[in-house]
Chain A
Amino acid sequence: MSFLFFFTLSFVLISAVLAVHARDLFVSTIWLSVFSLMMATNFFILDAADVAITEAAVGAGVSTVLFLSALALTGEKESGKRVYRLLPSAALFTLALVLIIVSLEHPRLGDPSAPVHQHIAPWYLSETPVLIDIPNVVTAVLASFRGYDTLGETLVVFTAGIGVLSVLGFRPKRKVVVTAAQVSRRTVRIRDHLILRVVGKLLIPVIMLFALVVQFHGEYSPGGGFSAGALFASAVMLYGILEGADRSIKAMPQLIMLRLAALGASIYIFVGIFGILLGSNFLDYSVFSSDPVAGQQLGILLIEFGVGLTVASVLVMVFNAFAGRDTY
């Protein structure tokens, strides 16, 4: 284990402790975003590049924006009343003790003879060039060998989008009446930052193009549907932050985003059913063309597109639901 890894691991723990400890929730959110970025660095040091891209885009990007928009609607200070409950504290202490004692039996970091490297991982690494023939083994395992899990996960994301819409779809009962003078005194409007708006709007197409590259290049380099969806959603969030939530909702209406999310999940399911219609099993892509390897690659391309579409539209829908809420 290198010194760099030691440093980043310790920094992760320190930033997590500070995120929980801070009384001002705004400071807490910024520490959480630093924590996510350090976790992404840790993942990269541990040779997991796909996971690093996804954690950086999701944790340090989308999650921070969602927390900040939720904070704008709730409150920023936490009341510092200390709660001392015996049973949860004892449970936490016991859990920590048990886990540390158990960890003394674990194989040390990077041990090639650890049980996790023995059975199915060498099979995946040796069979991917034969059966699927794409360079990125993680995408091959995600989309083809473990396609069921990815289908379930896409449906989970879609369900979360529906859940957010059903919770926040109702208008609040009490409307707070605020005068225009009160608003302009309390807020610093984004219109006052001219340079930020100009440069931000220059960056939005670059980010969207990068999201498309990550999506369709996911078979050859780290990437894939999940990180591409999060990157695309963060480009739309940038537009929403710079131009105001009403223009963002007009550019990407909620109903169309809902239909697109459903379309993404449906593409995945129909690709699976297409396998049945062509005479084989559900989610078997080898029958899509006369050459089974080409069929697998076509199937992976289609379902990654479906996953990216669903993730992007659900995250945009959630952001618009948060940002379009008009309470002060």
Chain B
Amino acid sequence: METEFLQSLPRLLAYASMVIGSAFIVIGGIGVLRMPEIFTRMHASSVTETTGSLFVLAGLMILSGFTLATVKLFAISLFLLFTSPVSTYALVNTALIAGQKPVVVKDSTGGVSA
């Protein structure tokens, strides 16, 4: 009974990781739809592209075991980690240079928050 549980522990871990990753992706999607302007929206979508994809790919790697597919998945996650934040940066920088200003709210003590 216990050895069965120990053998299926990697699979449970993989499934849990993929579910957590999917939850992050859904959170990112809801954030993009609900946020008011571009800077906060890109902030929400960056959750999707880093944490969400990393969790899903880690779950797939655990599921594949020690095969060539794991190395390829690792290379894909490295590639995603390199390129997705850069594309977010490019979009937001373009918006900033083109003149978009973040929506700021002044609170009662005179400080600002975005």
Residues of A in contact with B (beta carbons under 8 Å apart): 188, 192-193, 195-196, 199-200, 202-203, 206
Residues from chain A with a CB closer than 8 A to the CB of B79 are 206
Subset of 17 A-B contacts with CB under 8 Å: A188-B94, A188-B97, A188-B98, A192-B97, A193-B90, A193-B94, A195-B86, A195-B90, A196-B86, A196-B90, A196-B93, A199-B82, A199-B86, A200-B86, A203-B82, A203-B83, A206-B79
What 1/0 mask marks residues of chain B from 80 to 93 whose CB sits below 8 Å from any chain A CB?
00110010011001
Task: Give how many A-B residue pairs fall within 8 Å (CB-CB).
Answer: 24
Please give the distance in Å from A149's CB to the nearest CB on chain B: 32
Residues of B within 8 A of A202 (CB): 82
If A196-B90, A199-B86 are given as contacts, then 9 extra A-B residue pairs at C-beta distance below 8 Å, sorted by A number, are: A188-B98, A193-B89, A193-B94, A195-B90, A196-B93, A199-B82, A199-B83, A202-B82, A203-B82
Give Cα A50 to B37, complex, Å.
Answer: 40
Chain B positions within 8 Å of A196 at CB level: 86, 89-90, 93
B residues neighboring A (CB under 8 Å)? 79, 82-83, 86, 89-90, 93-94, 97-98
Main secondary structure of the interface of A (DSSP, over half): helix
- Assembly CA distance A196 to B84 (angstroms): 11
Chain A residues within an 8 Å CB radius of B97: 188, 192
Q: Name the B residues within 8 Å of A195 (CB-CB).
A: 86, 89-90
Beta-carbon nearest neighbor of B99 in chain A: A188
Bound-complex Cα distance A196 to B82 (A): 11
Nearest Cβ distance between residue A29 and chain B, in whole angstroms?
16
CA distance A199 to B94 in the complex (A): 17
B83, A193: Cβ atoms closer than 8 Å: no
Closest chain B CB from A220 CB (angstroms): 12
How far is B98's CA from A241's CA once the two chains are assembled, in angstroms? 19
A203 to B80, CA, bound (A): 12
Give, as a whole number of angstroms, the nearest-CB distance from A241 to chain B. Answer: 11
Assembled-state Cα–Cα distance A188/B86 (Å): 17
Q: A74–B82 Cα gap in the complex (Å)?
A: 33
Give the top 4 A-B pairs by smallest Cβ distance, nearest first: A199-B86, A196-B90, A188-B97, A195-B89
Could you tell me the distance in whole angstroms from the C-beta of A1 to the nearest C-beta in chain B?
A: 22
In Å, the complex CA distance between A162 and B83 comes to: 35
